[in-house]
């Protein structure tokens, strides 16, 4: 073998090694390098995500010690409005109703979203609640009708759990064949109304919800009602099952036909809708959480990596353990716009 041939072979070997290395690198999931300066990562999120996101935050900050994750809980509608109406900057937006992202944020404030977890509605209470020994899935609405019982839910105009509660109560009329449940529990105690036309129920939530009796309490977000339950200020509150489990509350398991958990009942859930002060007419659908990096994010790459920690194997275990069944794998809308960091963890 002459010297020229040896050089050519060496060059070919180098090229093969380099190309192979580039191909292997390109196929690996991408993550940002550890920031060399302190970064404050702002996460606007639904109140019902507070406890699992604390666990995600702990894992994330251990891996990225220069990142301080700032969790800011609120009702999901309020979280979105902070960005779209108040101009606040966020690196991650996580909603208890994924449909708020395409309907309120896209295309001006977001390019994509990922759905990652599910939930269901329950009626939470404590051992000290009135009639705690009697209440069950067959009589809960009669218990709430009693004048000495105090119950609550969150503001439909601010919180998905809030607008889902009147939906559940309206669907209960169909399930239990009792056309006075909504009248007695909601209309008699607030300014929220419902009308029916050709089997479709239109609920309206005005700006002034005006709870008219001591029986009903309405708060900005559903997690605010947890403390009231624990302190005895309320007997019952409509909550997500995950919130009840995370706070060691007792709860009534509602039938799948009304708890907004089962895709098989989508057509039934679609029979109710609620008009909010935003002008949006929210239709009943199964409860699915969504997350995105808003367009105004100051730390978009780090925000995408935080979402990766929410939807990878460790994140899914957190949500499973917290009573919020993960969607596995997570599913993405507008995959072409998805950050490369997330593509290995989702399907279209």
Is 13 within the bounds of a domain? Answer: no
**3-state SS assignment for residue 133:** coil
In this prediction, residue 210 carries a pLDDT of 84
In this prediction, residue 289 carries a pLDDT of 97
Other Cβ atoms within 10 Å of 208 Cβ, number: 7
Is 10 within the bounds of a domain? Answer: no
**Dihedral sign for Cα atoms in the order 85, 284, 223, 214:** positive
- Domain-terminating residue out of 249, 265, 283: 283
Q: Which residues pair with 252 in a beta bridge?
A: 123
Q: Are residues 293 and 268 in the same domain?
A: no
Q: Are residues 60 and 196 in the same domain?
A: no
Residue 31 near residue 63 (C-beta atoms within 8 A): no
Q: Are residues 191 and 130 in the same domain?
A: yes
In this prediction, residue 24 carries a pLDDT of 36
In this prediction, residue 19 carries a pLDDT of 37
Q: Are residues 142 and 267 in the same domain?
A: yes
* Tens digits of residue pLDDT in 220-242: 988 889 999 999 999 999 999 99
Q: Domain count of the chain? A: 2
Residue ranges making up the domain that contains 273? 121-283
- Domain-terminating residue out of 283, 302, 319: 283
Maximum distance among all alpha carbons in the chain? 101
Q: Are residues 279 and 242 in the same domain?
A: yes
In this prediction, residue 36 carries a pLDDT of 67
Is 184 within the bounds of a domain? Answer: yes
User: CATH number of the domain that 146 lies in?
Assistant: 3.40.190.10
Series of mean pLDDT values for 10-residue runs along the chain (348 residues)? 43 37 37 72 96 97 97 95 97 96 96 97 98 98 98 96 97 98 97 97 95 89 92 97 96 98 96 96 97 98 98 97 95 94 94
* Tens digits of residue pLDDT in 148-176: 999 999 999 999 999 999 999 999 999 99
The first and second tokens of residue 261, run together, are 């958990």
Q: Are residues 114 and 125 in the same domain?
A: no
Q: What share of the chain is helix, strand, coil (3-state, %, to 5)?
A: 40, 25, 40
Is 33 within the bounds of a domain? Answer: no
* Tens digits of residue pLDDT in 174-200: 999 999 999 999 999 999 999 999 999
- Domain-terminating residue out of 263, 283, 303: 283
Q: Are residues 166 and 259 in the same domain?
A: yes
Q: Are residues 128 and 266 in the same domain?
A: yes
Strand order from edge to edge, sheet including 113-118: 67-74, 39-46, 92-95, 288-292, 113-118, 326-333, 346-347
Q: Are residues 150 and 216 in the same domain?
A: yes
Is 335 within the bounds of a domain? Answer: yes
Q: Is the pTM of this model over 0.75?
A: yes
Is 62 within the bounds of a domain? Answer: yes
Which residues, 6 or more positions from 347, have their beta carbon under 8 angstroms from its beta carbon? 329, 330, 331, 332
What does the DSSP assignment read for 98-165? TTHHHHHTTTTT-S-EEEEEE--EEEEE-TTSTTTTT--TTTHHHHHHSTT--EEEE-TTT-HHHHHH
Q: Are residues 178 and 301 in the same domain?
A: no
Is 3 within the bounds of a domain? Answer: no
Q: Are residues 132 and 267 in the same domain?
A: yes
Q: Are residues 271 and 125 in the same domain?
A: yes
In this prediction, residue 34 carries a pLDDT of 64
């Amino acid at each position: 073998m002459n010297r020229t041939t040896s050089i050519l072979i060496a060059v070919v070997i180098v090229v093969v090694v380099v190309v192979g290395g580039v191909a292997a690198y390109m196929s690996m999931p991408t993550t940002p390098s550890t920031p060399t300066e302190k970064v404050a990562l702002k996460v606007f999120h639904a109140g019902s995500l507070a406890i699992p996101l604390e666990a995600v935050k702990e894992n994330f900050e251990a891996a990225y010690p220069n990142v301080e994750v700032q969790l800011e809980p609120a009702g999901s509608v309020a979280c979105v409005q902070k960005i779209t109406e108040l101009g606040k900057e966020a690196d991650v937006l996580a909603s208890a109703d994924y449909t708020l992202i395409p309907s309120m944020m896209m295309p001006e404030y977001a390019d994509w979203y990922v759905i990652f977890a599910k939930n269901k509605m329950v009626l939470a209470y404590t051992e000290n609640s009135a009639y705690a020994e009697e209440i069950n899935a067959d009589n809960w609405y009669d218990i709430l009708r009693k004048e000495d019982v105090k119950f609550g839910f969150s503001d439909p105009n601010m919180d998905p759990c809030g607008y889902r509660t009147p939906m559940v109560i309206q669907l209960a009329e169909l399930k239990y064949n009792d056309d006075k449940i909504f009248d007695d529990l909601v209309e008699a105690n607030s300014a929220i109304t419902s009308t029916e036309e050709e089997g479709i129920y239109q609920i309206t939530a005005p700006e002034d919800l005006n709870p008219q009796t001591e029986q009903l309490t309405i708060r900005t977000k559903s997690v605010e009602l947890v403390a009231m339950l624990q302190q005895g200020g309320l007997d019952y509150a409509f909550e997500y099952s995950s919130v009840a489990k995370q706070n060691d509350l007792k709860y009534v398991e509602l039938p799948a036909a009304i708890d907004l958990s089962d895709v098989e009942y989508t057509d039934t859930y679609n029979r109710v809708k609620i008009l909010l002060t935003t002008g949006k007419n929210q239709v009943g659908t199964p409860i699915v959480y969504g997350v995105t990096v808003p367009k105004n994010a100051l730390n978009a790459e780090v925000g995408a990596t935080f979402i990766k920690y929410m939807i990878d194997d460790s994140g899914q275990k957190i949500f499973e353990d917290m009573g919020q069944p993960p969607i596995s794998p997570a599913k993405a809308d507008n995959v072409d716009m998805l950050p490369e960091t997330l593509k290995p963890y989702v399907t279209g």
